[in-house]
Structure 1
Amino acid sequence: MHLQRLLLLSVPLLPAVLAVDSPIDGYGVMIPEWEVEVTSGSTMVLAGTIEKVHEKLLQMNPNWNEEYNSTQNSAGNGKRDSNIHLFSRNVFSGAEYKCGGTLPECHPTGIATGIDYLRSVKGKPKNGPGPGNCGRVSCTQNGAIWWCNDNASSKTLDGFGDIADGAEYLGKKCTRWGWENGSYKAFLSGKAFHEDNWNVIVQKDSC
């Protein structure tokens, strides 16, 4: 396959991306990269959140959803995949976690959308050496999913679904309900610690 490298950042957008703060003081910020097939036989490495990558793919190939069975246009398959996931063990089952604290709370809707996106992506995510090396892999409706590596060496996961597992686990453990502007709403923020020394954070971010 012809492999091209494309940084998914135009010059006007670059300062905004670099201005993203780490979810935890003292942690570094990296821009996640995704190797994806744009058209048959053409693979590119795109950088940014999964939502930005999907947006760029549609710009380069308007038929990408239909050709690659994206979560945006595959409700039936998405339901089937969700049913399959019910029988698989969440890699964060029984993991240590912390809710709230200094992490700003978001509404869970954006996190749920990010989880769906992450489960639709094939490949193995890689994070640079830590400790405290974090990348914002998803941000929708001001709800962000971060993946942090606390190992001294680079970390490669089996799939992006592992990160989705962490966000889903936090959604089950850390969602609380309360009043906001006269409405009773759900709120969510937290950090889940995987036994292999990496973690997932969900919180409010600007996006």
Structure 2
Amino acid sequence: ARQRVVYQRSNALDPGDLWVTHLDTGHSRRLTHVNATLLRARALGAVEEVWFEGRDGHPLQGWIMTPPDFDPAKRYPAILEIHGGPQLQYGRRFFHEFHYLAGLGYVVFFTNPRGSQGYGNAHQDAIVNDFGAVAHDDLMAWTDHVTARPYVDAARVGVTGGSYGGYMTNWIVGHTDRFAAAVTQRSLCNLIS
């Protein structure tokens, strides 16, 4: 009997479609092209995967999305995006809101600080009983790494996030004034009640 699996597949530049893989041959085929018209009508920025060191040398993964008309000789404002959870993660998938911001001319950068899933229990559990400081240090190391690039205007960097990302946005603006703007979305503000 032929065995196959149907699944949704996406990446940083494609919001995704249905695919089928025949398990006996390994052959994969795209079944749908739901967003083809939209993608032909829009220019999307590039997404670069980066590994960097946190303040204590801990290896961390992040991504930098540049505007569609990116010119490395120019300087761009930037936005740090922070995911919810905290036990969620960014990856090689399509984030429409990031592409929207990049389309407006921002460099968008995002990472999986400690507390995120996908890097082992020690990485995920590092924020237990320290719900802010460890992730803050990782996010500041990431911001240092990105703002050191010549095309990022370090004086025009914003920070935003939703849910736990909103909590971290609140934490950040309570601990540093390095960001020119902050938008907290769907945030947790009070962990006591």
Is this a same-fold pair by TM over 0.5? no
Greater radius of gyration (CA):
2
TM, length-normalised to structure 2: 0.22
- The answer to which structure has the higher helix fraction is 1
TM, length-normalised to structure 1: 0.21
